[in-house]
Structure 1
Amino acid sequence: MWRACELSCTLLLSLLLLQLSVLPTSALPSTLKHNDAAPLARDTPLPQPPGEGSRHKRQTPGDPSEPAQETCDFGTNNDVVLCSWMNVNVTSLKWRPSRGENAYWMGGPVEDVTYGDKFGGYAVFETSERPDLGLVGISAFESAMLISPLRPSTGAEGVCVKYWYSIGGLSADRVRVLLHPMPNAKFIKEDDRTTSSLEGANDKPATAEECKNPEMDKNKNRDQMLQMLSTYDGSDDVVLWEARDVTMGKWSEGQIVYTYNMPHAIIVEGIPVSSGDINRRFRGFIAIDELNFADSSECGAFCTFEAGTCGWVQDENLDDFDWTLSRGSLNPSTGPPRDRSSFSNGGMMGGFAVIDSGYPRRPGDRARLLTEEFQATDPDTPLCMRFWTHMYGNGVGSLRVLIINSQDSDEETIWEISGEAGNLWYQGQVPISSSKPFNIAFEGEVGRNNLGDIALDDISIIQGPCPSAPQIAGNNLGDCTFEVDECGWISPGARDRLDEIDWVRTVASENREPRTDHTIGTQQGYYMTVPKGSVQRAGDRAWLRSTTMKGSTDTMCVSFWYYMYEPFIEPSGPSLGALTLYVWSQDPLEGTTILRPLWSLRNHQGPNWLYAQSKVKSENDYAVIFEGTWGQSRGNGFMGLDDITIFMGDCTTMPDKAYVSLGDCDFQRDSCSWVNTTTDPDFRWASASISRRPTSLPDHTFGGSVGYVFFDVFNQNANKQTLRKTSPVLDGKESCIGFWYASFGSGSESSLSLERLLPEGDDTRGEQIWITSSKGRVQTRPEWTYAQAPIPANNKFKLAFVGEASNGGYAIDDIKIYSGLCKVRPKEADPNYVAEREPPLN
């Protein structure tokens, strides 16, 4: 248990910085989120856009089986519209109705959400557009704003806003959902034909003309808004939600629940990168579809505790008392004076859930709040639960988050924090994944005395991984946002001789790139980067190692955000370097170290933070290692790492190109699993070293002096020598092997071939699938050449590089095995190739 005097500065700083990661609010109680992942209903999978070609709407307005909703699907075919939404005319930047068939003309995804085809409509903002400052009455707003019709008070239950969004291109920065207060507006009710003011007083009957023409109500509301927006400056707007990450041309769902007691409007704001950013001149877009206002229960497990506990229920069996609702503590020595949002911003409305530690409670008493059942999470898409907690008082006990298996009631604590944390609200978050149906529980435990109230507010459950925060509360040792420290991630010591440089935790404001971190998206955020210096060489490496984690039969997934950017590409091509993810373990029988690459990307990937993940499976205790390697352009490029999360799940590798096959090898550390099977001990494939390597042949991977394998034969007896380099046993599926090779020496009969072998048996006899020779080739210096060959296979197999020479040799580097067949390159290396003959002269 923590006590007030024992609460570390690190925890306080962690919680404060975590609070900064949520966008600012004004005096409005609201549930906030700023993540591109979508919340899930409690007992249903995330809805997906219909398949291509479907003309069936995902949701039909007026269907009596559906709850009352207000949806804008932006139309279809030639009738694409903005519905009742309109652009805020304080900027020349506009949202425009469009459809998928205009994607390469006006920008946007190639299909909409509602119909899932190219004819369905959506709203799109072209982010390379610049404001026209010469127009009269137009301000210099650097964003496009789409505003809803005037809306009345939400009531205590709140409103759920659902929408789908897509972000693409270099000039797109972010999309936000704002609440724009309009307290002086008089909302015209369409249902009872009355005009309602702020408090609902002074109601007066509608005129006869208004009763005959309901559209007049909408027009009056619209006229009011246009008049009030003429002086719009955005200063009163409240950010409810934000997404910054590109969606790679796909649609992602967003949801929020908010409450507000006055007339207001909702604004969808598309924001491009700044005008001074070089990327502003590149095309980009932000698109929005299926804008939907619905009952707050439609947003699943979101809860602001202002009209009850939403879908959360009291545990009737395994606790000692119940959570209760409150607007403010009755004891100044414990509990919050008001709810989370009004505590920060001075609002007058809002509630929260709390455990009351007063009489008749005793130390150790527990209260549980449960969700309804969730289905098993997808291995690639865990959940992220965010919430706000207040733990103030001399006798504060513990707050836990538990996952309860719905089938056998097994419980696992995935987040826990204990002791007083000050008279403030702090945000926590935890990743949630399960291969079986489950419930989530908040468990509050009474501490040593009656000054131990624990409060809970603004719960949201969204789709996508997130690091446990504060890091000390989670049970995943590798989770880290790097906002406070390195969370136990370390660099090896100089005596270990595992790397040449160290990763450095740094604040974005002190770096040229990345200009912001990923966690909070500002220049005040922190991330890890590989530093640059004048003494570093191409191929120098930096290791970042996690703490040792306990092995398990469960498959785990490591997710993270990476940044690999070269502002200027050299004439020789991209040469930033590489980022590689390894899993480290030890063989319990032999005590040898096992270092296995799981994920790897090289060189320039773009000026954005990008998402990645890879599965890890180790029954032995293990650690995760990130290796950053500089290429030749280390003075020009940037490499960063942020928001590491480790969760349970047999996830797929993202992006696909980062997958590392068993046969892949860049020969930077060793020959991976490729081994010499040459029978003559005097002639072998060798790793290039400073003292022994072909003249004038740098490493292909990073341009360094070493980092490839070669053979050379200079035999005065002119007898050919055969040398073999054999792969491990590979999976039996159609594949393509790509690699780089270089020849050297003056011998005209040197050759290099590639053979496919049976997984067991004679390694000296195989089927030749690729061959090249130095015969007739004249070269002054060795040069790297790309090659590839198809591997048709239904059963497991091995590969062998076979070199033959009497006065020369070959080098190979950067072996990569791809899924699917390919053509032989160069075409002359096909064993069945027949030289093209020139037509005879007439």
Structure 2
Amino acid sequence: EKAVLVGPEVEQQDWNCLRMVYQLTGSATLQLQRRLEGESFDHMLWSAHSPSDSWLVASIDLQNSTEPYKIVIEGRPGSAEGSSVSIFEISISDKYCIECDFEESHLCGYTNQWNSNVNWYVGRGDPNSHTHSDEPGNYMYVDSVHTKTLKEVAKLVSPMTMVPLSGCLSFQYQQDHVDGHLFSVYSRDRAGQYQELWRADQPENNQVDWGTETEVVFEVSFNSPKGGRVFLDDISFSPEFCSEETEPTFDPKVADCDFERGFCRYTQRAADAALWRRVSVQPNIYRTGDHTTGTGSFLLANSGFTMQSGYVSRLYGPPLPGNQKYCLRFFYSLRGFSKTGQALAVYLYDTAGPKQDEIWAQSEKTRDAWIQTELSIQSQKTTQVVFVSTCKSFWTCGYVGLDDITVSLGDCELQLGPPSHPSHCNFETGLCGYTQDKHGDEADWVLAKGPTPTSYTGPIGDHTTGVGHYLHIEASQMFAGHRARLVSSVLRGSKGPQCLQFFYHMYGSGTGTLSVLLSSDLEEEDRVLWVHSGEQGISWVRASVSYQYDHSHQIVFEALRGPSLRSDIAIDDIIFQKGPCKDSDRPASGDLNNIE
């Protein structure tokens, strides 16, 4: 059971903050979603599932949007007796959620980090309050007279930011007896790691650049019985940086590359064995295609590209400015290496000197599958990421593939991936709301990880990371002609086109048919949107399906078992998007390998 509230249409040109005062008891859950006109799915903004004895404040940043939308609030009481969902207040204001003048009783979601010896308090009526109103306004303050022991720390913590922020953080403050305390401002990520943003005795630096979800912590530490007081008011944020000197000029996306249109900003040097080649592989049963689409381009290092018995080939990325933490992600694939220790390694090169540090080396057994790797990197100096493939002997080497390199700000462990939701499902946390059709088929789709049980059919890993989950039909437990149907939740109709993208794997001499169908109560039979039959190669291949339907409907993935056991069919990474599909996903042209 669930209860749904749909808000009025919001036209939002600027950044907004939604605040909600709520309470959950028992097993109840609460979700906030954004509903865009013309899209089949709502987009998750926030969720809560922990019970509380008191009212709580949720603060959700709403990024500026060029299209109007509605806020959808969905509450589920759960199965436990006495469970309930209560909402006391909902407001949307044209500011960032970390901004606050402390005039509201909920204090904009700011909280004290509990300390029985010292805390921040709400003050009112002081003529030095900076809030502009006819009446004296509220402010926050901390006073050493309330401390029970020395060396105590009072922390005022902002709500967690929901999206990356870059700009200038401003606030009004006053101090007395400055020698008796230290006033600082920190950022704190979900892992509890602190980074100093500003200190009262060094006030020249207060710009912020957060790539992950972050809290702001206003901290006062006392070191004297007469530590004095600190007053705080009017916290504000601007996307404009505090000064031109502090504004960053580096966009980490310049280091992204899927190699579909060349090497991007990655280079090789004449002094090295320039053996990284850009190749395109047609769908086949012998060689894995690229990771991006299954039919596109990727980089390949291969001993067959040189007449020498061995090689060391380096691929240099663009310079990354120092004093910043980055998350490097890439996919690699190995085949034929009898010794994998030096098949692929990643180094950080100091651009100002000869220093180089190995930060990762491939140690898995040889697998002809695309495996995702994530590396958090940080250096005080400007560095380059260098991918190095080493082959000591022609007889022990094979192929090294590299694809889909991305670089983003922040720690990899703190960056959340796409939500597990019917509109973006990689099956890592279950079926995302998809269900098995118990009446229209003879078998079920099976959640799997790693290779399927039968040889020479099915994938050896998922598409998302190479070591995650996917759905497949297990032909050894079906009869020829049996079907398995996976059904989406009910989708809203749309007057405009929709794009469905997914990856499929159809490898095996007896492979049957995979179909995508549209099911509606208004039509007697399912409408065929896409269909493929027979063996399609050993790679995961991307399918893009554009369709339009005005009424409520469901999408069905139907797999038909072929004549033999080698008939496994798999799907992964399902995505629904508004608008027609932009990618044609045409197979690469030419011979088995097109090499640049």
Same fold per superposition (TM over 0.5): no
TM bucket (normalised to shorter chain) is 0.3 to 0.5
> Structure 2 length normalisation: TM-score?
0.36
Bigger relative contact order (CA 8 A; separation at least 6)? 2
Greater gyration radius: 1
- Say which structure is richer in strand: 2
